[in-house]
């Protein structure tokens, strides 16, 4: 096995022996971690053909695929993670054809794909980190999609009616992010069974867009919603528009929205004055818990808190996580404060408890 730029060769041999031993002993989990010295290594995919590997995880390697991979049928592989590996569009297509029983696929920061096409009848879970360019997904049995820090110029979803969980965290470059975001969230029209949704809160843009969801569009099965959002009037109007589409929502998480570029006022749509001036009303008849992360105590934050406190409905619990700032790139927060609603014959009141865990 060739090892370009790899020294010492004994480490390569150990990797070969590890996989040979792994295959010969009928192990079912191959987790190939990144070495401390960060050397790249060759991984000959063909050695897995006669093995029983079900879970394959490769990091920073030269992935050597056999020329006839698409017809070889590596039937044992059910889960594959490729991290920081150079891939071509054809390599991805061959891997999917060559692993017909693949149910979970993760492509994490891999260089190379320009027209990334994921086409599989068996695939159930997909995660892509740092994806860009063009993305197609055709997967009738897909249950979970996670697009993390992606910046797809174009994205197309087909046959995804089995989708139950969807997460999209796009890179926040406002002059182009909304176009990418609006294309990605179109997947919701094909996901009537969606239960968990995790996205940025740019729903206010739909209120002035000609290319919006049909008036009949609803997510009746959605019970958990995670929004990365601020609490300006634009954000609240967008949040209210989103909540109208999921009448059976039970849990709402509001997370910090990290921005690479600052929003520019000219980029915001001109919302009608009646939307900007009148109090925002939230339609959340089944909502039981709201968790507000990165609470700073700003005027906008307090305004939203007052709206929650006044809300009657089914809301039982409000969790507020005070934000302290960043330290070494990590978000620092104080212990959460929990507000619980007490119901009596006279009416309901909201009381705060000592900080504790959720």
- SS (HEC) of the chain: CCCCCCCCHHHHHHHHHHHHHHHHCCCCEEEECCCCCCCCEEEEHHHHCCCCCCEEEEECEEEECCCCHHHHCCCCCCEEEEECCCCCHHHHHHHHHHCCCCCEEEEECCCCCCEEEEECCCCCEEEEECCEEEEEEECCCCCEEEEEEEEEEEEEEECCCCCCEEEEEECCCHHHHHHHHHHHHHHHHHCCCCCEEEEECCHHHHHCCCCCCCCCCCCCCCCEEEEECCCCHHHHHHHHHHHHCCCCCCEEEEECCCCCCCCCHHHCCCCCHHHHHCCCCCCCCCCCEEEEEEECCCHHHHHHHHHHHHCCCCCCEEEEEEEEEEECCEEEECCCEEEEEEECCCCEEEEECCCCCC
Residue 328 pLDDT level (bands cut at 50, 70, 90): confident
Burial of 278 per CB tally in 10 Å (0-12, 13-18, 19+): exposed
Interval 208-237: pLDDT, tens: 777 778 888 999 999 999 999 989 888 898
pTM of the entire predicted model: 0.84
Summarize the confidence of residues 129-142 as an average pLDDT: 94
Q: Residues with Cβ < 8 Å from 169, sequence gap 6 or more?
A: 147, 148, 149, 150, 198, 199, 200, 228
Greater pLDDT, 352 or 130: 130
pLDDT band at 10 (very low <50, low <70, confident <90, very high): very low
| Residue 335 CB coordination number (10 Å) | 11
241-256 pLDDT per residue, tens: 899 999 999 999 999 8
Give the count of alpha carbons within 13 A of 257, CB side only. Answer: 23
Is residue 134 one of the residues assigned to a domain? no
Q: What is the pLDDT of residue 91?
A: 96
Report if residue 326 sits inside a domain.
Answer: no
In a domain, 93, yes or no: yes
Selection from 197, 251, 249 nearest residue 228 by Cα: 197
Confidence class for position 351, pLDDT limits 50, 70, 90: low
pLDDT given at position 275 = 67
* Inside any domain, residue 330: no
Would you say residue 174 has pLDDT above 60? no
Within a domain: 50? yes
pLDDT per residue as tens digits for the range 206-216 = 777 777 788 88
Domain carrying residue 42: 12-26+36-113
* Residue 203: both structure tokens together: 């729903």
* Region of poorest pLDDT, from 52-56, 106-110, 128-132, 250-254: 52-56
For 264-284, what is each residue's pLDDT tens digit? 443 455 666 766 777 788 888
The pLDDT score that the predictor gives to residue 176 is 65
Number of folded domains that form the chain: 1
Residue 102 included in any domain: yes
In this prediction, residue 8 carries a pLDDT of: 33
Domain assignment of residue 49, yes or no: yes
Query: What pairing do the DSSP bridges indicate for beta strands 132-138 and 115-119?
Result: parallel
**What's the whole-number average pLDDT of the chain?**
81
Out of 93-102, 191-200, 294-303, pick the least confident: 294-303
Separation in Å, CA 131 to CA 177, 211, 323:
14, 24, 30
Determine, yes or no, domain membership for 268: no
Structure tokens that stand for 176 in this block:
């182009």
The pLDDT of residue 194 is 98
């Amino acid at each position: 096995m060739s090892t370009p730029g790899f020294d010492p060769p004994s480490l390569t041999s150990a990797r070969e022996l590890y996989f040979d031993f792994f295959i010969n002993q009928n192990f079912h989990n191959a987790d190939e971690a990144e070495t401390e010295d960060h050397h790249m290594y060759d991984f000959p995919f063909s050695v897995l053909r006669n093995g029983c590997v079900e879970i394959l995880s490769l990091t920073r390697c030269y992935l050597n695929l056999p020329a006839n991979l698409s017809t070889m049928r590596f039937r044992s592989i059910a889960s594959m993670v490729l991290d920081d590996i150079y891939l071509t569009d054809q390599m991805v297509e061959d891997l999917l054809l060559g692993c017909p029983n693949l149910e979970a696929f993760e492509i994490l920061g891999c260089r190379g794909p320009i027209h990334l096409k994921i086409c599989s009848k068996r695939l159930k879970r997909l995660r892509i980190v740092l994806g860009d360019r063009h993305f197609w997904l055709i997967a009738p049995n897909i249950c979970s999609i996670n697009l993390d820090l992606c910046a797809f110029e174009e994205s197309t979803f087909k046959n995804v009616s089995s989708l139950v969980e969807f997460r999209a965290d796009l890179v926040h470059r406002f002059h182009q992010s909304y176009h990418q975001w609006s294309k990605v969230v179109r997947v919701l029209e094909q996901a009537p069974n969606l239960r968990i949704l995790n996205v940025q809160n740019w729903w206010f843009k739909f209120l002035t867009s000609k290319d919006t969801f049909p008036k009949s569009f609803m997510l009746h099965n959605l019970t958990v919603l995670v929004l990365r959002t601020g609490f300006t009037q634009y954000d609240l109007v967008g949040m209210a528009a989103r909540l109208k589409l999921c009448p059976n929502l039970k849990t709402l998480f509001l997370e910090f929205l990290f921005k690479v570029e600052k929003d520019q006022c000219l980029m915001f749509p001109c919302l009608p004055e009646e939307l900007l001036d009148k109090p925002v009303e939230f339609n959340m008849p089944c909502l039981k818990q709201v968790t507000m992360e990165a609470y700073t105590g700003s005027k906008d934050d307090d305004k939203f808190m007052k709206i929650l406190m006044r809300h009657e409905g089914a809301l039982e619990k409000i969790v507020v996580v005070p934000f302290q700032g960043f330290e070494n790139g990590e978000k620092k927060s104080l212990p959460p404060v929990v507000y619980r609603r007490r119901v009596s014959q006279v009416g309901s009141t909201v009381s705060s408890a000592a900080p504790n865990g959720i």
